[in-house]
């Protein structure tokens, strides 16, 4: 059963949670609705399910009216999440589509990383191979990617965690939709309602589009 907690937040919260350096998805950064998601790439249920819900269903419904941004919040108990966040951020330096491809792939296989024994070293190797494979397929600078992955600089991840703490984010997934903070897994109709209200408040007629399954 989905659980959620909706909190009213000042619109200034949206600005602080909307880092323009992050890879975006959907509409442009000037879109009337911005959805910022604090995500844990090892979160096997709620985060993975939310990621699959957001894309393509919300994009099909809203098109360029909604801009999506992911921020990293690897939880302490998820030992593979930091590696996944660092590696995907290496991709983000060179290609937003490559970043999102890696995010989608890792969410799909997060519960299988490391094999049945959940061996951390094996999981790290699998994450590295997945990310570097995407870099190679997309003809990115593989040498630079190799160096970035090998360095494992988690500075950007730590900055995101500090921002999450400042915003009162304590769990994943947590979403900010134009000043509305939503915690936990939420049903798709509920997300539609929040985004529809955000568009309506700006005098924008929200679309009524059949969802393709």
Residue 155 binned pLDDT confidence (cut-offs 50, 70, 90): very high
CB 107 within 8 A of CB 55: no
Specify the pLDDT at position 152. Answer: 96
Specify the pLDDT at position 20. Answer: 66
Instruction: Give percent above pLDDT 70 in the chain.
Output: 87
The predicted-structure confidence for 63-114, as pLDDT tens digits, reads as follows: 999 999 999 999 888 989 999 999 999 999 999 999 999 999 999 998 898 8
The residue ranking higher by pLDDT, 188 or 8, is 188
Radius of gyration of the chain (CA): 17
The predicted-structure confidence for 191-211, as pLDDT tens digits, reads as follows: 999 999 999 999 997 665 444
Q: How many CB atoms lie within 10 A of CB 185?
A: 16
Any idea which of 27-36, 57-66, 182-191 has the lowest mean pLDDT? 182-191
Specify the pLDDT at position 137. Answer: 97
Specify the pLDDT at position 15. Answer: 47
Mean pLDDT, residues 9-19: 50
Q: How many CB atoms lie within 10 A of CB 88?
A: 26
The predicted-structure confidence for 128-137, as pLDDT tens digits, reads as follows: 999 999 999 9
Residue 8 binned pLDDT confidence (cut-offs 50, 70, 90): low
Mean pLDDT, residues 174-195: 88
Confidence check: pLDDT of 46 > 50: yes
The structural domains of the chain, ordered by start, are 5-200 (3.40.30.10)
Calculate the average pLDDT of the chain. Answer: 86
CB 177 within 8 A of CB 198: yes
C-alpha separations of 114 from 8, 69, 144, 148 in Å = 39, 28, 26, 22
Confidence check: pLDDT of 1 > 70: no
Confidence check: pLDDT of 59 > 80: yes
């Amino acid at each position: 059963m989905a659980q959620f907690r909706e909190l009213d937040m000042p619109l200034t919260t949206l600005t602080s949670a909307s880092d323009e350096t992050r890879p975006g998805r959907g509409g442009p950064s000037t879109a009337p609705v911005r959805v910022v998601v604090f995500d844990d790439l090892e979160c096997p249920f709620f985060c993975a399910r939310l990621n699959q819900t957001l894309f393509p269903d919300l994009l099909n419904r809203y098109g360029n009216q909604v801009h999506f941004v992911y921020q990293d919040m690897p939880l302490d108990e998820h030992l593979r999440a930091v590696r996944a966040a660092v590696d995907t951020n290496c991709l983000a330096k060179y290609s937003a589509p490559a970043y999102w491809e890696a995010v989608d792939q890792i969410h799909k296989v997060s519960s299988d990383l490391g094999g049945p024994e959940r061996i951390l070293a094996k999981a790290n190797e699998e994450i590295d191979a997945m990310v570097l494979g995407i870099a190679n397929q997309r003809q990115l600078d593989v040498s630079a990617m190799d160096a970035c992955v090998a360095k494992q600089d988690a500075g950007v991840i730590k900055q995101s965690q500090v921002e999450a703490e400042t915003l009162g984010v304590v769990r994943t997934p947590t979403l900010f939709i134009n000043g509305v903070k939503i915690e936990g897994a939420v049903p798709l109709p509920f997300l539609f309602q929040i985004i529809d209200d955000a568009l309506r408040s700006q005098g924008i007629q929200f679309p009524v589009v059949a969802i393709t399954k």
